[in-house]
Amino acid sequence: MSPPSQASSLLFFLLLISVFPPLRPSPPPPPAASVCIIGSGIGGSSLANFLRKYSSSSDFSSPIGPIRIFERNGIVGGRMATVTIAGETFEAGASILHPKNYHALNFTKSLNLKAKSKADGDSSSIGIWDGNRFVFKTLSVDSKFPLVKKVVSQINALRLLWRYGFSLVRMETFVESMLEKFMKYYESVESRPVFETVEEMLGWSGLCNLTSLSLEDELLDAGLSPLLINELVTVITRINYGQSVKMSGLAGAVSLAGSGGNLWAVEGGNWQMAAGLINGSDVELHLHEEIVSVSNLGDSYELNSIQGNSYTCEVAVVATPLDELNIQFSPPISVPERKLQHTYTTFIRGLLNPAFFGLKMVSEIPELVGTVEDPDIAFSSVSVLKKHGESDMSYKLFSRKPLDDPFLDQLFSVRKETIRIDWGAYPQYRAPEAFAPFILDGLHLYYINAIESAASAMEMSAVGAENMARLILLRLSGKKSHSSFSRRTEAVARGLHEDL
């Protein structure tokens, strides 16, 4: 080959490698992050579900490795639980779901669970008891004919309108306004940011202002009459949250939404949602394992249980209220002081005493008896769960304090079976609310239940868990912008959104 030919070849080679540089090996993917979740309720189980779904999106740089869930009890579900009385199973904890609780609906559908349209204790007759008399009672009829039931229902609607006027319409408008804002949390991730604080999350949807005033003040501003607030609204908040209308506005609005129509529950128990999500998320479940300390080791966390076991993970998540737990954090964390409202749930098989209510026959007692705010009234509500016969029924009572046997013997003429449960059910709501952070240490220690200071509900926990899953993945990837994460997970999230 002549020298000019050699020079041409060399020039062509240099030109070729300048246009097509040599391939470099791709950097190895980062190690999958292990996750420890304390609590197996709807928050913890939803988080495991969303972490698996979102981290499976293509080219995501921070995959999720082993997920461990620690539950101090012997069954999953947290505050979702059932009780069996007279051979029947009833919800003992979180009982009702709203028709617009789309995460719960999606869980139920994907897990092949069955939704029942009538929740436990969904009563056809209602009475409001002031400690001396029924200030309001709806009519009831024991008929198998739908037309008769429809006529009675319309008469009851007119009776409600006659007593409370158009304040009922204003109350419905108030609740619908809250629900419309809440629906923003189901928008696609392309238009929905990842939130690092509860305040950001509520502010984006327009719900934050409802945590600044009491429900009573919000309803008065909305034009509701004091009569409606002191009677019907008070009955609802006492039943759903064990609290008065002095509670903060957002939680109160959620309570009112939980008194509407088309409420539902999972047949066999709402706890099955948590069980199904855990089973489908490749989780290492530790039952009867109570975590007592969480220590930051630098690049990981060490969790120690009361049983003497130690576990290490890169991400630690508290998915249970810290308010009455004795977990030691090292270094210490700081969260606003918050007290839990205990609800004492009493299940009784027997028969109510009509004389207690100044009546002559059991059939005159409404199927749901709610009470007004009065410290001398021992119970918040009593409702019929199941009629086994004319003189044999199962009842569910809510109260703020335990109901002792002498009182129950006055309230009931017959008691065959009694079951008592003490729930640390939800925060005590006082406006303006202060919120714990989602990120407890600025690193990878997270707290789902910070969102409960806004409102406590199964769907609220699921909404918080969905945001937290994206927050964890975003921060593991080192991204500061939410947009790159949104594009990356849009394909996965779009499928979830279409299901919703």
Average predicted confidence (pLDDT) for the chain: 89
Strands (E), 14-63: 33-38
pLDDT of 481: 42
pLDDT of 120: 52
- Of the two residues 143 and 251, the one the predictor is more confident about is 251
**Residue 23: pLDDT over 70:** no
Query: Looking at 45-59, 169-183, 308-322, which range is the least confident one?
Result: 45-59
- Of the two residues 486 and 262, the one the predictor is more confident about is 262
**Residue 78: pLDDT over 80:** yes
Q: How many angstroms separate the CA atoms of 337 and 486, rounded?
A: 34
Q: How many angstroms separate the CA atoms of 368 and 483, rounded?
A: 50
pLDDT of 493: 45
**Residue 150: pLDDT over 90:** no
What count of other Cβ atoms lies within 10 Å of the Cβ of residue 43?
30
Q: Give the DSSP letter string of 279-311.
A: HTTTEEEEET--EEEEEE-SSSEEEEETTS-EE
**Residue 16: pLDDT over 50:** no
Q: How many angstroms separate the CA atoms of 354 and 323, rounded?
A: 40
Give the closest residue to 321 by CA, choosing from 303, 334, 340, 304: 340
**Residue 483: pLDDT over 60:** no
Q: Which residue has the tokens 């918040």?
A: 380
Q: Which residues pair with 315 in a beta bridge?
A: 35
pLDDT of 486: 44
Q: How confident is the model at residue 182 (pLDDT cuts 50, 70, 90)?
A: very high
Query: Looking at 127-131, 149-153, 200-204, 467-471, which range is the least confident one?
Result: 149-153
φ and ψ of 335, to 5 deg? -135, 150
φ and ψ of 415, to 5 deg? -135, 110
Q: How many angstroms separate the CA atoms of 60 and 35, rounded?
A: 17
Which 8-state DSSP code applies to residue 342? E
CA distances from 345 to 312, 330, 401 (A): 38, 36, 9
pLDDT of 151: 81
Q: Which residues contact 495 (CB under 8 A, 6 or more apart)?
A: none
Q: Six-digit token pair at 156?
A: 């009851």
Give the closest residue to 319 by CA, choosing from 43, 71, 73: 43
- The stretch 230-247 carries a mean pLDDT of 97
Tell me the pLDDT tens digit for each residue of 296-312: 999 999 999 999 999 99
pLDDT of 484: 40
What's the angle, vertex CA 172, arms to CA 166 and CA 176, rounded to 5?
Answer: 150
**Residue 194: pLDDT over 90:** yes
Q: Which residues contact 352 (CB under 8 A, 6 or more apart)?
A: 362, 365, 382, 393, 395, 411, 412, 413
Query: Looking at 202-211, 389-398, 444-453, 474-483, which range is the least confident one?
Result: 474-483
Work out the burial of residue 127: count CB atoms within 10 Å of its CB; fewer than 13 is exposed, 13-18 middle, 19 or more buried.
buried
Work out the burial of residue 424: count CB atoms within 10 Å of its CB; fewer than 13 is exposed, 13-18 middle, 19 or more buried.
middle
Residue count (the chain): 500
Q: How many angstroms separate the CA atoms of 178 and 180, rounded?
A: 5
The strand pair at 64-71 and 283-287 is best described as: parallel
Task: Report whether 94 contacts 271 (CB < 8 A).
Answer: no
Task: Report whether 266 contacts 113 (CB < 8 A).
Answer: yes
Max alpha carbon distance in the chain (Å)?
122
Tell me the pLDDT tens digit for each residue of 342-385: 999 999 999 999 999 999 999 999 999 999 999 999 999 999 99
- Of the two residues 95 and 482, the one the predictor is more confident about is 95
pLDDT of 304: 98
pLDDT of 61: 59
Give the closest residue to 397 by CA, choosing from 356, 430, 449: 356
Query: Looking at 15-29, 129-143, 420-434, which range is the least confident one?
Result: 15-29
Task: Report whether 262 contacts 117 (CB < 8 A).
Answer: yes
